[in-house]
Amino acid sequence: MFGVGYIQKPFVENLPAIPENADYKQASLPIEKRVDDLLSRMSLSEKIGQMSLVDKNSLVKEIDISRYKLGAILSGAGAKPKDNTAAGWTDMISSYQTEAAKTRLAIPLLYGIDANHGHSNIPGATIFPHAIGLGASGDSELVERVATATAEELADTGVNWSYSPSLDAPKDIRWGRVYEAFSDDPEMISKLGSAYITGIQKQPADTAEPTILASAKHYLATGAQNWGQSDNKNFKIDQGKVTADEALLESEYLPPYKAAVDSGVASIMVGLQKWDGKSVITSKYLITDKLKDDLGFKGFVVSDWYGVYERAGNKYAATVNAINAGLDMAMLPYDYKDFERDVTKAVGKGDIEASRIDDAVRRILTAKFRAGLFDKTNEIDPDHKAIGSLNNRLLAREAAAKSAVLMKNDGVLPIDDDKSVLVVGSGADNIGRQSGAWTVEWQGIDGNWLPGATSIFKGMAEASRNAKVAYVPNEQFNQNVRMDVGVAVVSEKPYAEGWGDTEKPRISEEDLAAIEFAQSHTDKLIVVVVSGRPLFLDEQELATWNGLVAAWLPGSEGAGVADVLFGKQPFNAKLPLPWPATIYQLPISSTGVTADKTPPLFPRGFSSQ
């Protein structure tokens, strides 16, 4: 039986049925006219539903989509259908859309996921390099193609909204989200962020799928939080406090959003950090005055996970503050019943103006019309051929090669085909590690599986025409081998968000042992770092290495890393952010000035090619 909450809810509303010839249903009419018509027919509860974004695992019942007339559903990281295949996703989303279509107005849902590096919830999808690698490529044309390919895979399952790109600007490598960002350089972030938005929102010319909407995140100044000032007791930097004066906001943090707005970004996600002593989500100054009025953002503003309520004592007041600050859609992601109750009450009492609600809903509906959601039949290829397609994998391989930064080379690279190569290290044959977090699970997977993917070692074995390439795992370091060149692929275990905040990002003991083994069993050593951020290196040890490559988190196509190691592709990438020498240098300003004013180990833009 349904509880009281269900019975009292909107079914009691006695609203007129909608005629088939209603203006908003006419694809031939201009979007503005359709929005006006639809808005004029909506009850308050229908409007509040459009402002609600609910996590699919938090839906008490699927029927709540129609009961609460929800506007948008998301799969928070790792929230997947039982059948985690392209077909399983398509069925799940189309069943939710069917539920939404049962409502009086039949407004289609937005369905959002974090396509941070491809449609990465699905094993078998193409996993592109995480953004930091794309930042190292500095190549906007490549980024645009990666985003378009991502859109193609999303559309192949009915997803129509992605929480990407990140426009964050990491100042401190101890933060667990460095790799989600392109760079710490506002110009590079603007350039690649815009390319990504253009690419992902592009209407694929030859398909019936809707355009995928982008969401630039996390507004504003995320990445500049101070170490040790997070209000989340589990974290050190993530969700913490940002120190930035007006001048810095104007010169560094707003420009990438200006570029995103100019590129037509459909939505912008507000982060969980605090600026000027309060949560950004409550800042009318940042959201309405700066973003909407000054930058002219006409899309809709969405909060981050639980962002309205995070750290807020009183939920009613938090809801009122956020909406009055300019929030249009709340990623609740659980409390949709409370949200409906509170917004209804707030409008009734005059705490929120009805015109603010209309503005929010107008923005959301405009984005839905722009995406063609009302008009397309959403015909999805029953074979889901785009998912993990050969073309997309080749693109991911190209992107992995274009992301790898050559940091040291005494002539050992590229590796000659006639050399024998000993491969060691935790990242050598571990697709989970090279893909990083936000891959199938929020915190990623540590291990060698993902259908269709290629580990770096496998890629090396295939890329070298004549060379003998052998992988020796740490457990077999008693082996008596002798080879020409050692390649130690050291890696970080995957991590996401504040769970990756760590005081000293560095090479693990296990990988140091692998380096030592390779050095004593080969003539020349190349260290390949697979990581989401620069790792502190021992400079004396570094002096004994013959080559060093930063491969970042290259994704499912480890062959791309092999391509540059063997010279099938040139090294072209440059450090997307400074590589610090010591912890005392943190944070580092966007102009490259370290905290203790000493030079970093390698500056941004460095490469030794």
User: Which spans of this chain sit near ligand BGC (rule: CB under 6 A)?
Assistant: 76-77, 114, 163, 217, 304-305, 497
Cα 116 from Cα 163, distance rounded (Å): 7
Nearer to ligand BGC by Cβ, of 175 and 305: the residue is: 305
Q: How many other C-beta atoms lie within 10 A of the C-beta of residue 205?
A: 5
- Least spacing, CB of residue 309 vs ligand BGC, in Å: 13
- Least spacing, CB of residue 233 vs ligand BGC, in Å: 16
Mode of pairing for the β-strands spanning 300-303 and 278-279: unpaired
In the three-class reduction of DSSP (H, G, I as helix; E, B as strand; rest coil), residue 9 is classed as coil
Nearer to ligand BGC by Cβ, of 9 and 217: the residue is: 217
Cα 483 from Cα 471, distance rounded (Å): 11
**What is the distance of C-alpha 385 from the center of its chain?**
23
Q: For residue 538, what are its two tokens?
A: 């021992």
- Least spacing, CB of residue 347 vs ligand BGC, in Å: 27
Residue 300 forms beta bridges with which residues? Answer: 267
Active site residue 152: no
Nearer to ligand BGC by Cβ, of 197 and 581: the residue is: 197
* Backbone φ, ψ for residue 405 (5° rounding): -100, 125
Using CB atoms, what's the residue nearest to ligand BGC? 163
Instruction: Fill in the amino acid letter for 177.
Output: R
Cα 372 from Cα 378, distance rounded (Å): 10
Nearer to ligand BGC by Cβ, of 166 and 434: the residue is: 166
Nearer to ligand BGC by Cβ, of 110 and 404: the residue is: 110
Say if CB 371 and CB 511 are below 8 A apart.
no
| Catalytic residue of the set 185, 497, 501, 557 | 497
* Spatial CA neighbour of 125 closest among 503, 562, 555: 555
Nearer to ligand BGC by Cβ, of 80 and 217: the residue is: 217
- Least spacing, CB of residue 112 vs ligand BGC, in Å: 8
Burial code (b: 16+ CB inside 10 Å, e: under 16) for 122-150 equals bbbbbbbbbbbbbbbbbbbebbbbbbbbb
Ranges assigned E (strand) in 49-146: 52-55, 72-74, 110-113
- Least spacing, CB of residue 77 vs ligand BGC, in Å: 5
Nearer to ligand BGC by Cβ, of 148 and 215: the residue is: 215
Burial code (b: 16+ CB inside 10 Å, e: under 16) for 296-315 equals ebebbbbbbbbbbbbebeee
Which H or E run contains 548?
strand 547-550
Nearer to ligand BGC by Cβ, of 214 and 564: the residue is: 214
Say if CB 329 and CB 295 are below 8 A apart.
no
Nearer to ligand BGC by Cβ, of 163 and 517: the residue is: 163
Active site residue 304: yes
- Least spacing, CB of residue 556 vs ligand BGC, in Å: 21
- Least spacing, CB of residue 603 vs ligand BGC, in Å: 29
Burial code (b: 16+ CB inside 10 Å, e: under 16) for 428-445 equals bbbbbbbbbbbbbbbbbb
- DSSP letters, 266-295, are SEEEE-S-EETTEEGGG-HIIIIIIIIIIS
Say if CB 489 and CB 531 are below 8 A apart.
no
Q: Is 596 exposed, middle or buried (0-12, 13-18, 19+ CB in 10 A)?
A: exposed
- Least spacing, CB of residue 280 vs ligand BGC, in Å: 13
Cα 259 from Cα 59, distance rounded (Å): 35
Say if CB 397 and CB 556 are below 8 A apart.
no
- Least spacing, CB of residue 468 vs ligand BGC, in Å: 44
In the three-class reduction of DSSP (H, G, I as helix; E, B as strand; rest coil), residue 514 is classed as helix
Active-site positions? 304, 497
